[in-house]
Every structure is written in C-alpha cells, then in structure tokens.
Structure 1
Amino acid sequence: MDVFYAYTYTTAGWLSVQSAALTVAPQIIMTALLDETRTPTPLEIYFARTLGFSLLTLAALVIMLTGSIPLSTTVTEAVTTDDSDPKAPYAVPTLMTSTIFQGVCAFYAYTWYTFNGQAAFAVGVLGYTIAASIGLWCLLFASSHGKISRKTGADKRTTGFPFSNSEAEKKHAGKKL
C-alpha cells in the first residue's frame, strides 16, 4: 500500500472516529470540554450530531474521490490497464483540499489547546497534525508521477541552471543516435 492510500485511509479513519464520538455520545464530549458540569441543551446536541454526520460524509467523500473505491458501474470499466486512464480524476484536488482542511483544523485545535490547556485538544492537534503531515508529503512527493520523462526517465521540473547535468545529456544524446 503506498503512502497516498495510507493518507486516504488515515484521513477517513480520523474523521470517522471524531464522527462516532460526536454522533453517539455528544453529552460526554461536551461534558469533557466544559468547565462547569451541566447538561447540554438540545440545540448543542443537535449541532454536535450534525457535525458528526458531516465529518462522516467528508470521510466517505475522501475515500470515493481519491479512487480508493471505483466509481464505475461495471467491473470492466473499473479494471483497466491503460496508464493514461485516470482512475480518480479528482484525487489530487481532493488530496489538496483535505490536507488544507487537516492543517487548518490542527492550527485551530492548537490555539484552543494553548488557550485552555485541555488534553482533548492536544489529542486533536496530534491527530490532525499526523494526517496533515502525510497529506503534505503526498502533495510534495507522491503526486508527481506525470513529471517524469518517458524518454530519459529524468524529472522534467528540474533545470540545469547554474550547473548542467552532463551525464543526462550524454544519455539523451546517445538515444538519438
């Protein structure tokens, strides 16, 4: 399993854990985060469960849009061997959006942790930071498959300035002859 799918499943898992806690037991979550002990209002319970359903929906979208689950209706469309056929055309935009989401949530949880010092926010910071770090790694390194030259095998994004790569030029010149 490559890092891209590890990020996809990590993100979906982390969002599902949060969703389960908010949907199943919103009273416990609110009691843990409030300073005074009181029963949450029905509106607070409603918003907590709605957020839980939203996080579960976001987790499902991340799994589907990154190509972990084939979205075609027949098996022959889902299983292709053509390299030019993208399995998930929305994989990189979904990766970018979910990584930004994880990073913003990590920052937000960190500001709450520094303000309140509660351990629940520290757990949130840790989970979001791990997911955002894996997503950033995938954005930087795992999504550059299309930048490799088929002729030379070199990375197309590199230049020779201020130094030239004479070995690559020799290999490229040898293939033309």
Structure 2
Amino acid sequence: MDSVSLYSFSSFGWLTLQSIPLAAWPTFVISLLTPDFRHADVVQQHLARSLGFSQLAIGLLLVILTGSLPLTSMVESPSGSISPFTNAAVLITMLYHGAYALNTWVQYNYTRQAGYLLGAIGYGFFAAFGLWCLLFGSDKGHISKRTGADKRTSGFPFKNAEADKRRGKEL
C-alpha cells in the first residue's frame, strides 16, 4: 500500500469515527462538548447531523478520487496507473484537516476541554500527513536501473569520491 492510499483510508477512518456519533446521537455529542448539560435544540441537531454526513461524504470522495478504491476492473485498467485527481483530493482534504485542527485548537484554548484537544491532535496529524503525501508521497523518484541510485542527487557541496572512482574519473 502506498502512502497516498494509507492517507486516504486512515483519513476516511478518522472522519467516519467522528461522523457516526454526530449523525446518530447529536444530542449526546453536543452535551459532551458544552460546559452545562442541556438538550440540543432542533437546529443544533440538524447542524450536527449535517456535519456528520458531510464528513462521511468527504472521506468517501477522498478514497475514490485518489484511486485507492478502483472503480474499474483490474483487467481494463493499466497496471500502475494513478488517478488524475489524487493530488487535488489530497490537497483539499489536507486543507480541511488543517482548518479543523486550527478550529479545535482555538476551541480547546477557550474551553479547556480534552475532547477539543484530542480533535486538534488528530486533525493536525492528518494535515501533516497530507502535506507529506503532497510533497513526497506520490513521487517514485528517478532510480537508475543499473546502479539503483537516485539520479537527481548532486555532489554539491561534497564530492562523491567512490562514485567517481567507479566511473573511472580522476580525482
């Protein structure tokens, strides 16, 4: 499993973990996050359920658009092909996770409730993981078939004397 697939499935799991309680028991979740216990009104329940369904949809879209869950049979698709929407889907969800990490961190600083801190840590992790996938995850590198080394490396600021000896260059 490559890093983008790992990111998409783990991000889907994180969003699903949060969406199920929001959609199924909005009054319970709202009562946990408020300082005084009170029942949620109809508008709060509607917004909590909407957020839960939206998180589930974002997770499913991420898994499908990154190509982690193929929509065609293996016979029809060429081997090693990746979805053209991979980087866009990872970028959008990375920004989503980053915005929610900031939001939950601000809420934690305001209320000092551990639920917001756990949310900030989780969202921050997935924002950082998404950024890593954008920068390094989808690049296979330029690996030489003959030597197995990465062709994009340079000798600056130090010379690679061993490589120069093998190539027959004088030092």
The code of the aligned residue for 1:39 comes to H
User: Is contact 1:99-1:131 (8 Å) kept?
Assistant: yes
1:126 to 99, 116, 121: 121
Q: More helix by proportion, 1 or 2?
A: 1
Q: Does 1:2 align with 2:2?
A: yes
Q: What's the offset of the Cα at 1:88?
A: 0.9
Once the two structures are TM-superposed, the CA of residue 158 in structure 1 deviates from its matched residue by 4.8
Structure 1 residue 2, shift from structure 2 partner: 3.0
Residue 40 of structure 1 pairs with residue 40 of structure 2: yes
Q: Kindly, what percent of the aligned residue pairs are identical?
A: 38
- Determine if contact 2:141/2:150 at 8 Å carries over to the other structure: no
The superposition leaves residues 100-143 of structure 1 with CA deviations (integer Å, 9 ceiling, x where unpaired) of: 22122112211111111101101211221222232222223222
Amino acid at match of 1:77: E
1:70–1:87 CA contact under 8 A, matched in 2 = no
Report 1:24-35 matches (<5 A): 24-35=24-35
Do residues 89 (structure 1) and 88 (structure 2) align?
no
Q: Structure 1 pair 156/54, CA: closer, same or farther in 2 (3 Å)? A: farther
- 1:13 corresponds to which residue? 13
Question: CA offset at residue 153 of structure 1?
Answer: 5.9
Who is 1:49 aligned against?
A: 49
Unaligned runs of 5+ in 2: none
Q: Is the counterpart of residue 98 in structure 1 residue 93 in structure 2?
A: yes
Q: Distance in 2 between matches of 1:55 and 1:159?
A: 44
Pair 88,151 (structure 1): closer, same or farther in 2 beyond 3 Å: farther
Give the SS at the match of 1:71. coil
**Would you say the 8 A contact 1:106–1:129 is kept in 2?**
yes
TM-score relative to the length of structure 2: 0.81
Say if 1:169 and 1:152 are closer, same or farther in 2 by CA, change over 3 A.
farther
CA RMSD of aligned residues (A): 2.5
Moved over 3 A (4+): 146-171
CA 1:39/1:15 → structure 2, altered by over 3 Å: closer, same or farther? same
Alpha carbons of structure 1 residues 146 and 91: separation in structure 2 relative to 1, 3 Å:
farther
CA contact (8 A) 2:5 2:68 kept: yes
How much has 1:19 moved relative to structure 2? 0.8
Aligned residues: 168
**Mapped contact 2:4–2:137 kept (Cα < 8 A):** yes
C-alpha contact 1:26 1:45 (8 A) present in aligned 2: yes
Equivalent position of 1:144 in the other structure: 139
Secondary structure class of the residue paired with 1:77: coil
In structure 1, runs of 5+ residues without a counterpart are none
